[in-house]
Amino acid sequence: MTTHLDPARVPPPPGPREDPHRSLHSEAGARPGEHPGRSRNPLVKVAGLAWLEFEKPDLDRAGRFGTDFGFTVADRTPETLVLRGRQAAAACLVVRRGPRARFVGPAFQAAERGDLDRLARGTGGTVAAHQGGHAVLLRDPSGFPVRVVHGVPELPALPGRAPLPLNFGTGPARANATQRPARRPAEIQRLGHVVLGTTRFRAALDWYLDTLGLIVSDFLYLDGQRDRGPAMAFIRCDLGSVPADHHTLAMGLQPHTGYLHSAYQLTDIDEVAASGAYLRERGYRHAWGLGRHIQGSQIFDYWRDPDRLMFEHYTDGDVFDAAMEPGWAPLSASGLAQWGPRATAEFTGTNDPRVVVAAIKALADKGNEIDLHALRGLIKAMGS
């Protein structure tokens, strides 16, 4: 019988110049002819993710989860709830009253007002006044409405906690003082990214690169099916020499098109863990964490809101400038984290019975990229 300790199967220890993480990370780049991960001539280059729009039937409940999760209420009317982080920025979430809980779409920040005109000309859209600024409303190939905004007034910064002083390295940062991070709601600093599943991944990927000028940080492919191209992409803003979040948008080929999660930056790891303890005490449903991702390197913790939509707390994510080329790695559940518990079915969505119905529908619908081969690859990835 072969065991895991069979010496013939144990890899040799890494040599002095070998990176022991090499098999975990995606430092391997593209092969000749593979997707370049950026458009040669995009219509515009957006400056960032502005906010996310949702609909919810119960705005009071959404507000309670929102403040427990770490947002601050910026505005509340009978029909709208606006949740913000503490940094000076637009709001993070705009939640309107609607018949069922759903993600509506993202809003991106245009770098300049003229970019809205370029987008309108290039897509047949129109520029309209929006929230004190201007916006053009587009639709991506997955069907999500995508707003690109400019001139919407920023909310002023709110005071926030400083990172805890840590006794790491030489010389204590904290003498004659204890460390007591409080189990209380997080103080969300800002919106980081949104992750979407789509049955039309390749079309949507190219649309975001060509239309909004986003660029790919990392591609994931279905193991054994690299020749069909990427099946997931972590995509950032092209800010030239200014480093941008490793991903502002991530998209993956999925049997059904929809929101997967969105992520919000916290000040340090104790904030992630201690605010997670608070959410647990309040009875919220934990999805996955703590761990550290590979693509983006964030220390993460995932939660479900009362409508089962997933939200992520994170800290210490990578930032890349425009010089970084896309990495390539196979998609697998175990490849989603460097350390931490194995990705749960609650996180991957494989415990949701609706996924089977969605897969059958996607197979029957010929206008997408889901075929049996792709489905097999996705199932294998989630089990490996």
Footprint of Fe ion (CB under 5 A): 263, 312
| Nearest to Fe ion of 209, 263 (CB atom) | 263
**Considering the complex, what minimum distance in angstroms separates the CB of residue 301 from Fe ion?**
10
**Considering the complex, what minimum distance in angstroms separates the CB of residue 296 from Fe ion?**
7
Instruction: Select the residue whose beta carbon is closest to Fe ion and give its number.
Output: 263
| Nearest to Fe ion of 105, 252 (CB atom) | 252
| Nearest to Fe ion of 271, 312 (CB atom) | 312
**Considering the complex, what minimum distance in angstroms separates the CB of residue 127 from Fe ion?**
31
| Nearest to Fe ion of 138, 310 (CB atom) | 310
| Nearest to Fe ion of 210, 268 (CB atom) | 268
**Considering the complex, what minimum distance in angstroms separates the CB of residue 299 from Fe ion?**
11
**Considering the complex, what minimum distance in angstroms separates the CB of residue 283 from Fe ion?**
23
**Considering the complex, what minimum distance in angstroms separates the CB of residue 250 from Fe ion?**
7
Among 317, 243, 250, 300, smallest CA distance to 106 is for 250
| Nearest to Fe ion of 238, 312 (CB atom) | 312
- The CB density around residue 194, as the number of other CB atoms within 10 Å, is 22
Task: Please give, one letter per residue, the 3-state secondary structure of 227-285.
Answer: HHCCCEEEEECCCCCCCEECCCEEEEECCCCEEEEEEEECCCHHHHHHHHHHHHHCCCE
| Nearest to Fe ion of 123, 338 (CB atom) | 338
**Considering the complex, what minimum distance in angstroms separates the CB of residue 94 from Fe ion?**
20
What is the distance between the alpha carbons of residues 243 and 240, in angstroms, rounded to a whole number?
8
| Nearest to Fe ion of 116, 263 (CB atom) | 263
| Nearest to Fe ion of 108, 234 (CB atom) | 234
**Considering the complex, what minimum distance in angstroms separates the CB of residue 300 from Fe ion?**
6
**Considering the complex, what minimum distance in angstroms separates the CB of residue 197 from Fe ion?**
13
Half-sphere exposure of 182 (CA within 13 A, CB side): 5
